[in-house]
Amino acid sequence: MVKAVIFDMDGVLIDSEPMWQQAELDVFGRLGVTLQPHQTKQTAGMTTRAVTEYWYQQSPWQGVSLADTEAAVISQVAQSIASRGEAKKGVLRLLQQLQQQQLPTALATNSSQYLMDTTLDTLAIRHYFAAHCCVEMVAQGKPAPDIYLLAASKLEVAPADCLVFEDSYTGISAAKAAGMTVVAIPAAEEWHHEKFGIADVKIRCLSEFDMRLWH
């Protein structure tokens, strides 16, 4: 019996992955790191700090700190979300359904507080969530389970009673490590990838999901 629901943010509530991809291509490109669009998928789901460190190890640059590089990526993504961010198909219907069923709901994202707030305010969905958890609130981001355990704690629900919606293998791994049930929403081009087999359920879109069958 599901007693609480926890959502990842990027790629689940909002189609921000193209925005992340463009920001990484632009920011790292200015620093002399030549990336192809498909290479950004290697770091999908990782924290922005981890992505920055990853590309610095691959192709070190000079003159700009890792912290400033990370901030530049976040700033560009935030501007993109604020100007054209939209909720993904099925998001509002499911959030309304959860509210009607009085199921406590939390957000658990590897993104920063700034991006979390920008997304919640742009989509006007903050009021649906009883808890908002971002990467600065935990010792380790996903794939460590910390952020999901924090969300369950804030909702005062046992991890085993939580249902999670995730789009990345990194996030799914984090939720499974926390002992939670996971619904995977892979990107279309990754639908058949075997790595998503660790999820309990796999759907193409939130509009396919009926919470009434789980509560």
Q: In 3D, which of 191, 190, 147 has the Cα closest to residue 6?
A: 147
In the chain the first and final C-alpha atoms are separated, in Å, by 6
Q: What is the pLDDT of residue 211?
A: 86
Q: In 3D, which of 51, 146, 82 has the Cα closest to residue 108?
A: 146
pLDDT, averaged across the chain? 94
Q: What is the pLDDT of residue 57?
A: 95
Q: Which residues contact 159 (CB under 8 A, 6 or more apart)?
A: 148, 149, 152, 178, 179, 180
Our answer to whether residue 210 is catalytic in this structure is no
Q: What is the mean pLDDT of residues 92-116?
A: 95
Helix (H) or strand (E) holding 105: strand 105-108
pLDDT of 52 above 90: yes
Our answer to whether residue 161 is catalytic in this structure is no
Q: What is the mean pLDDT of residues 81-105?
A: 96
- Interatomic CA distance for residues 80 and 18, integer angstroms: 10
Model confidence at 38, in pLDDT bands (50, 70, 90)? confident
- The residue assigned the tokens 């629900």 is 157
Q: What is the pLDDT of residue 72?
A: 97
- Interatomic CA distance for residues 212 and 200, integer angstroms: 17
Task: For the chain, state the CA radius of gyration.
Answer: 17
Q: Which of 34-38, 109-113, 132-136 has the lowest mean pLDDT?
A: 34-38
Q: In 3D, which of 209, 112, 96, 100 has the Cα closest to residue 163?
A: 209
128 neighbors 102 (Cβ within 8 angstroms): no
pLDDT of 37 above 80: yes
Q: Is the dihedral of CA 77, 81, 87, 92 positive or negative?
A: positive
pLDDT tens per residue across span 147-194: 999 999 999 999 999 999 999 999 999 999 999 999 999 988 899 999
Q: What is the mean pLDDT of residues 78-102?
A: 96
Q: What is the pLDDT of residue 146?
A: 98
Q: What is the mean pLDDT of residues 134-153?
A: 96
Q: How far is CA 62 from the centre of its chain?
A: 30
How many angstroms separate the Cα of 173 from the Cα of each of 11, 47, 140?
A: 16, 14, 13
pLDDT of 202 above 90: yes
Q: What is the mean pLDDT of residues 105-118?
A: 95
Q: Which of 87-91, 121-125, 187-191 has the lowest mean pLDDT?
A: 187-191
Q: Identify the active-site residue in 8, 15, 26, 200.
A: 8
Residue 15 in 3-state DSSP? coil
Of all residues in the chain, what percent carry a pLDDT higher than 90? 87
Helix residue ranges, H only, 37-129: 48-58, 66-84, 91-100, 113-123
How many other C-beta atoms can be found within 10 angstroms of the C-beta atom of residue 123? 20
Retrieve residue 156's tokens. 């005062």
